[in-house]
């Protein structure tokens, strides 16, 4: 599988994992303190071939994703679920630990930022769905992010991410139904 866009990853181990899974070029941020030189490389890459941000599903990875998105709007995003990004020994989390199949799946489900379109899902919808202010809210948000391929988002960021990636009310409802059915089976 060949990827046209340049994939932004955190480090060389992520690059190695991506290159084992697909044919692609990468830009490494080398941590969350992204310098202007790296941002300039990403800007140029976005103009020439497009960019896919593919960072670890953890706080530093989200910080990198946010920094790039704010500096360079309109990037594409790939997300890997936390359970797919853990090594067999259970220590650490990151793209570098994911299987080639999980990396390909994440890259096939790329989401594009679309901040200009109207939001379909309100904060009230999130409350009603038990994604905010509910004892199972965090778990439900993790599952929702995995099902919709938009990654985990905290309560404040979930509505923004649903809007940014133009998740429809229908897709949201189907994902929520799947989550609630799974919870009912486990009771």
Q: Which residue in the block uniquely carries the two structure tokens 């991410």?
A: 161
Same domain? For 41 and 108 the reply is yes
Q: Running DSSP on this structure, what letter comes out for residue 23? A: B
Query: In CATH, what number is assigned to the domain containing residue 79?
Result: 3.40.1360.10
Q: Which domain, by its residues, includes 93? A: 1-113
**What is the rounded distance in angstroms from the CA atom of residue 78 to the CA atom of residue 132?**
24
Indicate if the alpha-carbon torsion angle 83, 88, 91, 97 is positive or negative.
negative
Q: Note down pLDDT in tens along the chain; length 187 residues.
A: 999 999 999 999 999 999 999 999 999 998 888 989 999 999 999 999 999 999 999 999 999 999 999 999 989 999 999 889 998 877 889 999 999 999 999 999 999 887 666 778 988 999 999 999 999 999 999 999 999 999 988 888 898 889 888 899 999 999 999 999 999 888 7
**What is the rounded distance in angstroms from the CA atom of residue 138 to the CA atom of residue 126?**
12
Residue that terminates a domain, selected from 113, 132, 151: 113
Residue that terminates a domain, selected from 81, 113, 145: 113
Total domain count, the chain: 2
Same domain? For 47 and 93 the reply is yes
Residue that terminates a domain, selected from 113, 136, 153: 113
Please indicate, yes or no, whether the overall pTM of this predicted structure exceeds 0.85.
Answer: no
Same domain? For 12 and 92 the reply is yes
- Determine contact, residues 169/120, Cβ cutoff 8 Å: yes
**What is the rounded distance in angstroms from the CA atom of residue 114 to the CA atom of residue 107?**
18
């Amino acid at each position: 599988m060949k990827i046209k866009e340049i994939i932004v990853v955190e480090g060389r181990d992520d690059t190695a994992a991506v290159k084992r899974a697909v044919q692609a070029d990468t830009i490494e941020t080398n941590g969350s303190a992204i310098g202007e030189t790296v941002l300039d490389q990403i800007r140029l890459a976005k103009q020439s071939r497009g960019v896919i941000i593919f960072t670890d599903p953890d706080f530093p990875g989200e910080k990198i994703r946010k920094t790039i998105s704010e500096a360079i709007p309109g990037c594409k995003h790939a997300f890997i679920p936390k359970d797919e990004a853990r090594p067999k020994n259970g220590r650490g989390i990151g793209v570098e630990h994911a299987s080639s199949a999980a990396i390909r799946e994440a890259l096939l489900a790329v989401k594009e930022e679309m901040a200009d379109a109207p939001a379909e899902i309100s904060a009230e919808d999130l409350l009603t769905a038990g994604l905010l202010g509910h004892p199972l809210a965090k778990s439900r948000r993790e599952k929702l992010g995995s099902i919709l391929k938009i990654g985990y988002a905290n309560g404040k960021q979930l509505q923004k991410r649903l809007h940014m990636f133009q998740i429809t009310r229908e897709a949201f409802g189907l994902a929520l139904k799947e989550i609630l059915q799974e919870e009912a089976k486990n009771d």
